[in-house]
Amino acid sequence: MYHIKVIIKRRDVILDPQGKAIEQGAKLLGFDNITHVRVDKLIEFNINSESPEKANEEANLLCNKLLANPIMEDFELSVTKI
C-alpha cells in the first residue's frame, strides 16, 4: 500500500480568481501587504499496488484522466510506502 500526495497547480499565466478574491478579502480586513495569492489543490490518497513504480504510474494516469485539467494545470506527485 502506498500513500500518494498530488499537488495540482494552475499554470502561472492563468488567472486564479479564487486567489484574487482572497487578495481583495485580505485588503478589506486590513492586510495591505499580501500579494500574489494562488489557491492550489492538494489531493492525498492510498493506492494498493505491488511496487512504488507501479503506484506512481497508476497515480499519474489517474491525475491525467480525472484529477488535473491538462489544459491549464500542472501536477507533481510523491509516493510513500505505508
Question: From residue 13 to residue 52, what is the string marking binding to its own copies with x (rule CB under 8 A)?
Answer: ------x--xx-xx--x-x-xxxxxxxxxxxxxxxxx---
CB of 22 to its own copies, least distance (A): 7
Cell of 20: 484574487
Cell of 57: 504510474
Q: Which is nearer to its own copies, 28 or 71 (CB)?
A: 28
Alpha-carbon distance of 23 to 33, in angstroms, equals: 10
Alpha-carbon distance of 23 to 29, in angstroms, equals: 10
Question: From residue 51 to residue 80, what is the string marking binding to its own copies with x (rule CB under 8 A)?
Answer: -------x---x--xxx-------------
- What is the b/e burial string over 49-58, where b = at least 16 CB atoms within 10 angstroms of the residue's CB? beeeeebbee
The residues of the shown chain that bind its own copies, judged by CB under 8 A, are: 7, 19, 22-23, 25-26, 29, 31, 33-49, 58, 62, 65-67
